[in-house]
Structure 1
Amino acid sequence: MKKLLLLVSFVCIAQLTFSQKYTLSGYIRDAQSGESLIGANVLDAKSLAGTSSNTYGFYSITLPADSITLVYSFVGYQSEALELKLTQDTIINIELRESSLLDEIVVTAPLSEKIQESTQMSAISVPIAQIKGLPALLGEVDVLKTLQLLPGVQSGNEGTSGIYVRGGGPDQNLILLDGVPVYNASHLFGFFSVFNADAINNVQLIKGGFPARYGGRLSSVIDISMKEGNMKEFHGEGSIGIVASKLTLEGPIKTDKTSFIISGRRTYIDLLARPLIKAQTDGDEVVGYYFYDVNAKLNHRFSDRDRLFLSAYLGDDRFYGRYKYEDEQQGVTLTDENEAGLRWGNITSALRWNHSFTPKLFSNTTLTYSRYRFDISDEYRYEYLQNDQPGKLVDQGLARYLSGIEDYAAKIDFDYIPSPQHYVRFGANAIRHHFRPGALNLKFEDSYQEDEIDTLIGSQTTKAVELAAYIEDDVELGTRLKFNLGLHLSGFKVGDEFYSSLQPRLAARYLIDEQTSVKASYVRMAQFIHLLTNSGIGLPTDLWVPATENVRPQRAQQFALGVARNLSGGYELSLEGYYKNMYNLIEYREGASFIEVNKDWQTKVAVGDGRSYGAEVLLQKKEGRTTGWLGYTLSWTDRQFDELNFGKRFPYKYDRRHDLSLAVVYNWKENIDLSFTWVYGSGNAITLPNAKYLGYSRDSYLDSPPYQTINHYGERNSYRMRAYHRLDASITFKKETRWGERSWVFGVYNAYSRKNPFYIYLANVDYDSQYGEFRQVSLFPIIPSFSYRFKF
């Protein structure tokens, strides 16, 4: 009996030992710079249980006590295998090294998370190296223009960086820079974006199936993370182009403890054009335009459990004109001065604290401040001085229009990974909004007539509070079925009104075989802020306004179904279909605009609904000597407003039936890269007059005829522009130097000089004729460019 009891005791102890589970956690970083690797994979080669690192490089995996072999992998890096006997909770920080092109294919491809394995659908990550390798307008690398090449994303007008995702408007994109919303992402009236690729670490676009941690917009999330700064060595990189130059510096303040990065960019269009302008004037006029932006970040590791980040972005666009005239005749001095300016820009800042409570629980606490403002001014001063008389007569005035939005926010996010079958995220946030939809300040002083005016016309600042909380879980049921279940709860307090929204999120993935999966998702979204816009070219006159008692929040729901397959040779193929309904959209009524500051903006808008549906195909390759993608979109998008188009549905301006894009980067030789992009899109929908007639005008002047030609318009957006297509190409020559690397990049935009439509107008054949013809205005012919890039 004693022997039997002893045997049973040994069996029980052994059973308890082998059923015990422990957690491995830590950070995955780049071996050369110390940068966090986002989405790196961790796999137990024995059980095939795995996980991936979060936005800050943190990972956690719980496994049974046993001898294990962990494999760490990331696209473009050499995999690392680690064998150990797991007997307790263990912290392991791993550094991966970049691999050669051949090693990429052989080593990392089998171990990276494949497209068919993830529950997330309608999401695309584009490597920064690929973004930098593609051709760019005037040689300026642009993150948003690269995203325009992806299926489901429309580009707006020729050359602009506007983003229209699955039938949504530009205000329906949640653009995050280090977790802080960016309200205007355009420089140069939309032709460049505010994001400097040299300062960016990761870019992800989500078009549908939104996880519960995201909220506040209807159509997309563009999540952009800044670099953290090299923890080991001082480095720099930059470029000199034909319109702008930039420089990035990064390095350790204290090796492996504290690092910094600062990156700046400025155009010099104004400096180049100044001699030409001066030659065409009498020398007293100064006219110019430029933009600049600065990214900066500090990163400090207190320990393996605590880390602090301070990041900021500052950018401005400025157009200015100054004129001064002086004259002295017959004892009288006259001075005439005029100065006009147009300025808009963003400030974003974030203070973040990462803390690991346990190997399974990770938190990120963030305080943020952001501001977008638009400022247009016109100031004059006229002085009259009679030299033999004391004092002078002054006539001066100022007209200044201001608008913008300012946010103060706090949020906390938790990652809880109890086992490889669950990845739980939960958190909450609060935002204090300050809206200034538009105000006109007028000041006039006339000492001759002893008259003075100082007044403010237009909307005053509106304050609102936005709250949100969420929970989601990635649940794995067996080896084939996986779910992402989530709930997002949000609220908005403005004036005496409080809006709330409960938004369920569901995404599922089923593996048909090892290489193929079927995915489906359903999401509901709410948006408590609106963008009033007069045009589609990213003009800064667009105004951000809140939901009010009269204008309700925007809402949407989206269904998506797709197939994902991992092909041989490093290719990934996805096919998705979607259907989206949007409610409480707003547009200016016919003839209304931001200029009418004497009217409340709520009286100038119409409220309606929208819908979009279609299918998208993406064939992508991220590894090897040739990388890139082929994307195709078939879609329908329309709007319905009771007060517009007689209440009938009409095509959205950026409704395009077909959209095709091809982007390729080819490493031809060790020191030569070739790249090209080709895009095709059906023409934009526009409204054109279909008849002209003579009408009597009671308001005609005495010296003008009482009869005037009046255009008659049919249904809204019932005509189409010509189809759009364009080929861009570039070649890069790289060379290793004793101090680093230098590259010459030669590119061409619109290589076969296609005359793509920018807008269409009606012109009279003769001045007095009742007949006319439609004429197309094209913006960019073939445009060559070059830039010099360097790293040290």
Structure 2
Amino acid sequence: MRIIFTLLLLLGSTGLLHAQEKHTISGYVREKGSSETLIGVVVYCPGTSISTTTNTYGFYSLTLPASDSVTLVFSYLGYRPETRRLSLSRPVELNIDLLPDAALQEVEVIGHRQERVSESALMSTIDVPVAQIKNIPTLLGEKDVMKVLQLMPGVQKGSEGNSGIYVRGGSPDQNLIILDDATVYNSSHLFGFFSLFNGDALKSVELTKGGFPARYGGRLSSVIDLNMKDGNKEEFHGEGGIGLISSRLMLEGPLSKGKSSFLVSGRRTYVDVLMQPFMDMDGRGGYYFYDLNTKLNYDFGQKNKLYLSGYFGQDRFYYVEKFDRNKTRGGIDWGNATGTLRWNHLFNDRLFANTSLIFSRYRFNINLEEEYEDGDHFRLNYFSGIQDLAIKYDVDFLPNPQHAIKAGFQSTFHRFNPSAIVVKDSEINRTDRDVDNVDGVQSAVYVEDTWRPRPDLRLNAGLRLSHFATGNKNYFMPEPRLAAAYNIKPDLAVKASYARMNQYVHLLSNTGIGLPTDLWVPTTDLVAPQASQQVAVGLAKDFLEQDLALTLEGYYKKSDNIIGYKEGASFMMVDDPESAEKVRWEDNVTSGQGWSYGVEMLLQRKVGLFSGWVGYTLSWTQLQFDSLNFGQKFYARYDRRHDVSVVGVYQLSDRTTLSGTWVYGTGNAISLPIGYYSSNPNNPNATEGQYTYNDQVTYYGDRNSYRMPAYHRMDIGIQFHKQKRWGERTWEISLYNAYSRKNPFFIYMTDEYGNDGQVNRKLKQVALFPIIPSVSWGFKF
């Protein structure tokens, strides 16, 4: 940290040399009517190349030459621009309230200016407006952030209905998912069919696929940064909805008007409640999940602000059986809990700091309880998971319009539970408790600078030093980052980036689809940290009159020390949890390499009556493990040669919104048997393929050498809005898989006996979702 603050001091001194010639305009940008801070508002001087954007907490700072008259424009997507003229003879504190204008007309959009893709030094970064996410049709009408991100180029979906994402060839655990600074380890409900992020509580969503700024680290493939709303400081408001499988409600309002506010958002499914009347009294079961987002904040003035936010969610399968006087109950549950306490402090008009105390926990649990008529009982509880306690400190230093410096550090104490089992048996009066905890400390210090040495050139250069300690083993890893953008024309830029990343926590998975039974484990003296290097080049073009942005990128990523199970190995045995603690996970894994490369195209429009995007990806992903596939390279399961997504949202009128998506993707790569042979050399009929099931040995060829049929699907939706005296009512009708394409969920080999007694082996496909209609009722007040 000494190096970082020395650099800040030197740069600050450079700015002070010109203090007599320059002054700083700084402040916060908020939404008018709610005082919600706005992220990424563009602040610029018309007719010049001088501009900045607000940070995560709505703060901006511009240092300009002293002048009798300075014009600033504040512009943000979905809000009416604000223009201010002022005298700059001294430092100015200027807070701005922007008026929401969700129904911008085409004539109004002409004067609207958002941050252009050709102006940013960063590349491989996509933000999707939350309002747009809510208009996109999804499965059973559940608005799903992760499903929308799957529609972006470079982001692959797993299998049908799966909310896990695979970014530029990476696995689900290589995505850093952050909610208000807290890491979320499992981002899905219902074994991956729905994500846990409730759009009603979100303010912003940003996906970074490459060219990572130095402030991010700990994963190889992507960063998904989500920020919750702060809560309305001026008025009490609510929003909610009732759908086919769940209902949701969000409430927000002031605790002290203009200074403090709260936000509470909840969602729960109720299929279990609806099914109860149809179940046998001697045997009941069900499933549900719930989410709860909460946030409190207090504004102590221009210098200090305090935020407290949390997320709590759980999935639960349960059953109860009765037989005579014996009773058995059990279930599986898993869930996340996060909590973040953040303190913003403004040292001066150029130096902004945030301190965060963070808690995060993910836990998977299997429980079984048996009660007998003689009073004895047996209880078993098996669980695994990961828990974090972290501190994070970040500073934004804005000495002049040419430099935007970020620096900070983070330290996280991890406690891994690869295996924990508790058994209580009253019959033998015995309690066994075998808890396997592994502790580790992950830390990092970073500095980055977005530097504009000339009007047509922007650079983002940074260095992150990461460290991981567990047991007697310490890893120190430097992670250099560099991104550059050169404007050939004001609306056309060529970009390039390089990033090195390291990952110290790993997810062991047999399935590769991010099930809750997957196991989080740390780097050890036997398992090295995963590492990657990624380079990318591209073009960014803004079509200003049409409000379109086009990006074209090519990338190459090399990954080392990626891990997976050895052939036939497993760790998490749901059907036999007592034996799980006997397995040493390090002995069951192997490490290898990965290569991912491809080209991505995105044409996007965020404003106007018609918005949406078209994305296309051409990519290759190969893996190589010494102990798998005879040491030869093979295509990853979710290697997808072609991936296309088309998304459109059309505001037909103030009362009607139409939306639709169409996706196409090359089929997943899987392994299938190519032959059988007998393990019994004495079987006289083995040469003719006539042997018993016990003699049969399946022979597989190269790993993942078979392609499933291509995946494609269309979803359509329509929303009907109506203003009521109390607020707004919305009916939404949608069709998932509108032309009922039978997309493969999995494929298997089966034996069918013909009339002649011969065995015919056939491939069969299981499709999961046909056309699925849904209807929901939503409201705002």
Q: TM-score, normalised by structure 1?
A: 0.92
Partner of 1:9: none
Q: Does 1:743 align with 2:730?
A: yes
Q: Does 1:495 align with 2:471?
A: yes
Q: What is the one-letter code of the residue matched to 2:335?
A: G
Q: How does 1:746-757 map to 2 (within 5 A)?
A: 746-757=733-744
Residue 141 of structure 1 deviates from its aligned partner by 0.3
Match for residue 712 of structure 2 among 725, 736, 740: 725
Residues 367 and 410 in structure 1, CA contact (< 8 A), matched pair in contact too: yes
Match for residue 419 of structure 1 among 389, 396, 400: 400
Match for residue 233 of structure 1 among 221, 232, 235: 235
Q: Does 1:599 align with 2:576?
A: no
Q: Which moved more, 1:41-50 or 1:613-622?
A: 41-50
Residue 76 of structure 1 deviates from its aligned partner by 1.2
Residues 115 and 572 in structure 1, CA contact (< 8 A), matched pair in contact too: yes
Partner of 2:686: none
Partner of 2:3: none
Q: How does 1:645-660 map to 2 (within 5 A)?
A: 645-660=629-644
Q: What is the one-letter code of the residue matched to 2:334?
A: W
Residue 693 of structure 1 deviates from its aligned partner by 2.1
Residues 177 and 226 in structure 1, CA contact (< 8 A), matched pair in contact too: yes
Q: What is the one-letter code of the residue matched to 1:660?
A: V
Q: What is the rounded CA distance, in whole Å, between the counterparts of 1:220 and 1:293 in structure 2?
A: 24
Q: What is the rounded CA distance, in whole Å, between the counterparts of 1:71 and 1:752 in structure 2?
A: 47
Match for residue 781 of structure 1 among 758, 770, 774: 770
Match for residue 668 of structure 2 among 684, 687, 697: 684
Q: How does 1:70-81 map to 2 (within 5 A)?
A: 70-81=72-83
Deviations 1:614-658 (A, max 9, x none): 000000000100000000000000100000000000000100000
Residues 18 and 64 in structure 1, CA contact (< 8 A), matched pair in contact too: no
Q: What is the one-letter code of the residue matched to 1:312?
A: G
Q: What is the rounded CA distance, in whole Å, between the counterparts of 1:610 and 1:654 in structure 2?
A: 13
Match for residue 381 of structure 2 among 400, 417, 426: 400
Residues 109 and 608 in structure 2, CA contact (< 8 A), matched pair in contact too: no
Partner of 2:495: 519
Deviations 1:218-258 (A, max 9, x none): 00000000000001100000000000000000011111100
Q: Secondary structure at the match of 1:504?
A: strand
**CA spacing shift, 1:574–1:72, aligned 2, 3 Å:** same
Residues 635 and 705 in structure 2, CA contact (< 8 A), matched pair in contact too: yes
Q: What is the rounded CA distance, in whole Å, between the counterparts of 2:709 and 2:595 in structure 1?
A: 24
Partner of 1:61: 62
Q: Does 1:348 align with 2:346?
A: no
Partner of 2:576: none
Q: Does 1:570 align with 2:571?
A: no
Q: Secondary structure at the match of 1:175?
A: strand
Partner of 1:332: none
Q: Which moved more, 1:172-181 or 1:761-770?
A: 761-770
Q: Secondary structure at the match of 1:174?
A: strand
Q: What is the rounded CA distance, in whole Å, between the counterparts of 1:358 and 1:769 in structure 2?
A: 84
Partner of 1:295: 293
Q: What is the rounded CA distance, in whole Å, between the counterparts of 1:556 and 1:585 in structure 2?
A: 9
Residue 772 of structure 1 deviates from its aligned partner by 1.7
Deviations 1:360-417 (A, max 9, x none): 000000001110000011221222xxxxxxxxx4453223221000000001000000
Q: Does 1:146 align with 2:148?
A: yes
Residue 108 of structure 1 deviates from its aligned partner by 6.4
Q: What is the rounded CA distance, in whole Å, between the counterparts of 1:556 and 1:360 in structure 2?
A: 35
Partner of 2:4: none
Residue 46 of structure 1 deviates from its aligned partner by 5.2
Residue 106 of structure 1 deviates from its aligned partner by 3.3
Match for residue 134 of structure 2 among 132, 141, 144: 132
Q: How does 1:27-46 map to 2 (within 5 A)?
A: 27-45=28-46
Q: What is the rounded CA distance, in whole Å, between the counterparts of 1:321 and 1:95 in structure 2?
A: 53
Q: Secondary structure at the match of 1:208?
A: coil
Q: Which moved more, 1:685-694 or 1:407-416?
A: 685-694
Residues 75 and 104 in structure 1, CA contact (< 8 A), matched pair in contact too: no
Match for residue 165 of structure 1 among 164, 167, 173: 167
Residue 347 of structure 1 deviates from its aligned partner by 0.4
Q: What is the rounded CA distance, in whole Å, between the counterparts of 1:295 and 1:530 in structure 2?
A: 27
* Structure 1: stretches of 5+ with no match in the other structure: 1-15, 327-334, 384-392, 699-703
Q: How does 1:473-512 map to 2 (within 5 A)?
A: 473-512=449-488
Residue 570 of structure 1 deviates from its aligned partner by 0.5
Q: What is the rounded CA distance, in whole Å, between the counterparts of 1:769 and 1:33 in structure 2?
A: 74
Q: Secondary structure at the match of 2:134?
A: helix
Partner of 1:264: 266
Residues 269 and 288 in structure 2, CA contact (< 8 A), matched pair in contact too: yes
Partner of 1:4: none
Q: What is the rounded CA distance, in whole Å, between the counterparts of 1:394 and 1:302 in structure 2?
A: 60
Q: Does 1:308 align with 2:306?
A: yes
Q: What is the rounded CA distance, in whole Å, between the counterparts of 2:676 and 2:422 in structure 1?
A: 40
Residue 695 of structure 1 deviates from its aligned partner by 2.0
Q: How does 1:493-642 map to 2 (within 5 A)?
A: 493-567=469-543, 568-593=545-570, 594-595=572-573, 596-642=580-626
Q: Does 1:440 align with 2:421?
A: yes
Residue 44 of structure 1 deviates from its aligned partner by 1.6
Residues 674 and 731 in structure 1, CA contact (< 8 A), matched pair in contact too: yes
Q: What is the one-letter code of the residue matched to 1:740?
A: G
Residue 708 of structure 1 deviates from its aligned partner by 2.0
Q: Max radius of gyration: which structure?
A: 1
Q: How many residues align?
A: 746
Q: What is the rounded CA distance, in whole Å, between the counterparts of 1:559 and 1:64 in structure 2?
A: 38
Residues 77 and 104 in structure 1, CA contact (< 8 A), matched pair in contact too: no
Q: What is the rounded CA distance, in whole Å, between the counterparts of 1:271 and 1:750 in structure 2?
A: 27
Q: Which moved more, 1:528-537 or 1:497-506?
A: 528-537
Residues 213 and 472 in structure 1, CA contact (< 8 A), matched pair in contact too: yes
Residues 45 and 68 in structure 1, CA contact (< 8 A), matched pair in contact too: no
Q: TM-score, normalised by structure 2?
A: 0.93
**CA spacing shift, 1:610–1:421, aligned 2, 3 Å:** same
Partner of 1:330: none
Q: How does 1:200-211 map to 2 (within 5 A)?
A: 200-211=202-213
**CA spacing shift, 1:686–1:105, aligned 2, 3 Å:** farther
Q: What is the rounded CA distance, in whole Å, between the counterparts of 2:499 and 2:695 in structure 1?
A: 53
Residues 396 and 405 in structure 2, CA contact (< 8 A), matched pair in contact too: yes
Residues 697 and 707 in structure 1, CA contact (< 8 A), matched pair in contact too: no
Q: Secondary structure at the match of 1:569?
A: coil
Q: What is the rounded CA distance, in whole Å, between the counterparts of 1:682 and 1:17 in structure 2?
A: 58
Q: What is the rounded CA distance, in whole Å, between the counterparts of 1:749 and 1:84 in structure 2?
A: 53
Residue 109 of structure 1 deviates from its aligned partner by 5.2
Residue 766 of structure 1 deviates from its aligned partner by 2.7
Partner of 1:667: 651
Residues 634 and 657 in structure 1, CA contact (< 8 A), matched pair in contact too: yes
Partner of 1:366: 356
Q: What is the rounded CA distance, in whole Å, between the counterparts of 2:437 and 2:398 in structure 1?
A: 44
* Structure 2: stretches of 5+ with no match in the other structure: 1-16, 574-579, 683-690
Q: What is the one-letter code of the residue matched to 2:386?
A: I
Q: What is the rounded CA distance, in whole Å, between the counterparts of 1:103 and 1:69 in structure 2?
A: 25
Residues 114 and 566 in structure 1, CA contact (< 8 A), matched pair in contact too: yes
Residue 100 of structure 1 deviates from its aligned partner by 5.6
Partner of 1:317: 315
Q: What is the rounded CA distance, in whole Å, between the counterparts of 2:269 and 2:359 in structure 1?
A: 26
Partner of 1:378: 368
Identity of aligned residues (%): 52
Q: What is the rounded CA distance, in whole Å, between the counterparts of 1:504 and 1:161 in structure 2?
A: 31
Residue 309 of structure 1 deviates from its aligned partner by 0.1
Residues 180 and 228 in structure 2, CA contact (< 8 A), matched pair in contact too: yes
**CA spacing shift, 1:782–1:623, aligned 2, 3 Å:** same
Residue 18 of structure 1 deviates from its aligned partner by 11
